[in-house]
Structure 1
């Protein structure tokens, strides 16, 4: 029996999951201009079989978005960021160490960059989510940790401070998986330095 996705007798749910995993690898390598015909050929299925699971390319891309950018997010991170029994520097360090393990990989970084270049809405959707789930929360927790008024909602300018920290960590992935340049061997130690530098300045800005 030929060892292709199409000819294996698999549970349809397993086959669908395999197609999604293969699509993630394919688009991370070739970008979103890659066609579903090319994708089907690369993973050993026919295009009609692909469309049996995903009626069009947009449906497949939506599933890729969910698998890569939505599902790995751990809601427990938000609760840990809110845990004021733990010093704010430790909370931020723990969060960004955990988060960096999710995003600093070949597929995540390249898909995010390709989506932006292609003009897909992946980036806007994800960054709106991050603003609510992480950035505004970090601003509020820094305010609370430093005795700054927490009644007002974070402004766009406040969120930009967190963007700076966040982007500096994401940039490690850009250096490695886009530019092909080395990054620090100990990523968590690097995260610790970035968090320390961020907390040296952010409270003073947020207290204005």
Structure 2
């Protein structure tokens, strides 16, 4: 039997539930039940529903924590910083992005959400495309001597880097211990292919 829940202040309890939900959904996917989640936390399902009115509301909190909170507001300014060479900016961005998303929870929840048909992935990818890839593309055009990549090419670069994390956390295959050089080579190959 689970122990009676310790008394926590509301913010601490909410954080406890979100943190546990992140780990739980990463492990079992979105088919997991709030009843099982509550049991794992050691609280009642009724207490969980005091903080989140529905499973959908809890999933939204997980989405914000795992995906949106990892998108740094600094990235846009760093990408636009034309005092730095374009290749250095792309390398820095993708090294930081890889560090932010290469976690068990991010990769697994992203895959589970896609398999479950959740709109979370589409919302996240839309945000990445509209706020980051479009900006990267604009900087490539401004930097010259590159041809203008289409968005499919931008997604191909992005996907090649994300795939390192997929191999590591989904397929559990060996990957480099230092992602930086792999990221750098991906960016270099991409820009070489765009040279006029």
TM over 0.5: yes
Matched, 1:106 2:93: no
Match of 2:72 among 71, 74, 78: 74
1:202 maps to what in 2? 194
- Aligned-partner Cα distance in 2 for 1:146–1:3: 62
- Aligned-partner Cα distance in 2 for 1:135–1:72: 16
Per the TM alignment, residue 146 of structure 1 is displaced from its structure 2 partner at its CA by: 0.1
Matched, 1:18 2:22: no
- Aligned-partner Cα distance in 1 for 2:190–2:16: 41
Secondary structure of 2:150's counterpart equals helix
- Aligned-partner Cα distance in 2 for 1:68–1:38: 20
2:172 maps to what in 1? 180
Q: Which residues of structure 2 form unaligned runs of 5+? A: none
Per the TM alignment, residue 7 of structure 1 is displaced from its structure 2 partner at its CA by: 2.3
2:117 maps to what in 1? 119
Aligned-residue CA RMSD (Å):
1.8
Per the TM alignment, residue 148 of structure 1 is displaced from its structure 2 partner at its CA by: 6.7
What is the number of equivalent residue pairs in this alignment?
196
Query: TM-score, normalising length from structure 2?
Result: 0.95
Per the TM alignment, residue 158 of structure 1 is displaced from its structure 2 partner at its CA by: 1.2
Per the TM alignment, residue 147 of structure 1 is displaced from its structure 2 partner at its CA by: 5.5
Matched, 1:97 2:95: yes
1:51 maps to what in 2? 49
- Aligned-partner Cα distance in 2 for 1:172–1:3: 39
Contact 2:146 2:194 in 1 (8 A): no
| C-alpha distance 203-61 of structure 1, shift in aligned 2 (>3 A) | farther
Contact 1:139 1:162 in 2 (8 A): yes
- Aligned-partner Cα distance in 2 for 1:119–1:203: 38
- Aligned-partner Cα distance in 2 for 1:203–1:138: 16
Contact 2:2 2:43 in 1 (8 A): no
- Aligned-partner Cα distance in 2 for 1:18–1:136: 36
Match of 1:169 among 161, 169, 177: 161
Secondary structure of 1:71's counterpart equals helix
